[in-house]
Structure 1
Amino acid sequence: MEQYGERLICVRYRYDERSKQRHKTIELIIESTAWEPPMNPESIVSLHIGTHEREIQNSVRNAGGIWKYKQQVWQLRYDHVLELGLTDRIIDHECNE
C-alpha cells in the first residue's frame, strides 16, 4: 500500500514448489473512466416519437408499446427498443407508471 497507494487492488502470493520460489503479484488500477452499467432488458423506457411518425408509432405499438398521453411519450421495454433500433429516441431510462 505504501508503494502503490489507492491504485492497489490486491496482493497475491504464488508458490512454485518445483523451483521453491514464492512470487508476489499485485493488481493495480491503471485507468478509471465513467461507465454506465448495461440497462436491464425488461426496463421500461420513454421514447420521443413525433406525431407525424405513424410508421414508427405502429412498430412501437406492435412491440407492446404504450402511449402515455399525460407525458406525451411512448413507453416500451428496453429490449424491444433495441430490436427496433430506437435507442436514439430514449428520453429517460426508468419510468413510473
Structure 2
Amino acid sequence: MEIIKTIKPGDDGSKRYHEKYGEQLCAVRYRRSPCKKTVYTTIEIIVAQREAFQQGQHKRTSSPHLTHSSEWVAVKVAYDETELRAAVRRMGGRWSNQAKAWVVKRSMAIRRNIGHRIVEGLIDECLDVGI
C-alpha cells in the first residue's frame, strides 16, 4: 500500500486518535490500496518500551545479590550432554552460535538446577539470539 500522508501526534487530523491513545500515539497515516479505490487510515502506537543496550554494555550489576530473575543469561552445556541440551531447549532456551552457549532466563536456570553453569558476562556476546 502506498502512503499518502503521515501526520504527527497533535497535528490536525490526529487529534481524535491522540485523545484516544495519548502519549502512545506515534503517527497517523493515510494509505491507498494497490487498486487505488480505497483509502485506509492507520495509526502507529507504542505498545512496549525497554532500555536499549549497546554491544559490550553489561545488563547486570556487579553484585550477584542484585540480579534480576527475569534477565537473560548464557549457560554452557557440553555437546555430548544431549539430555541436558534437550531440557534447556524445552525450557525455552535459544542457542547462540556466536558465544557457543544456550541463552535462558536466570530464573529458569536456577529453577532447573543449572545455575552453576551460568557464565556471567557471556550474554553480551550472544547478539545473534535476538533477545
- TM-score, structure 2 normalization: 0.44
Aligned residue identity for 1:57? R
Compute the RMSD of aligned alpha carbons. 1.7
Q: Any gaps of 5 or more consecutive residues in structure 1?
A: 1-34
Aligned to 1:83: 111
More helix by share: 2
- 1:49-68 alignment, distance < 5 Å: 49-68=77-96
Pair 1:74 & 2:74 matched: no
Aligned residue identity for 2:123? C
Deviating beyond 2 angstroms after TM superposition, the runs of 4 or more aligned structure 1 residues are 35-38, 93-97
**Rg larger in structure:** 1
* Equivalent position SS for 2:104: strand
- Confirm or deny: 8 A CA contact 1:45 1:75 kept in the other structure: yes
How many percent identity over aligned positions?
17
**Larger relative CO (CA 8 A, sep 6+): 1 or 2?**
1
- TM-score, structure 1 normalization: 0.58
Q: Deviations over 1:17-48 (max 9, x none)?
A: xxxxxxxxxxxxxxxxxx63242111101011
Q: Any gaps of 5 or more consecutive residues in structure 2?
A: 1-62
Aligned to 2:18: none
Count of residue pairs brought into register by the alignment: 63
Q: Hey, what's the Cα distance between the residues in 2 that align with 1:67 and 1:36? A: 24
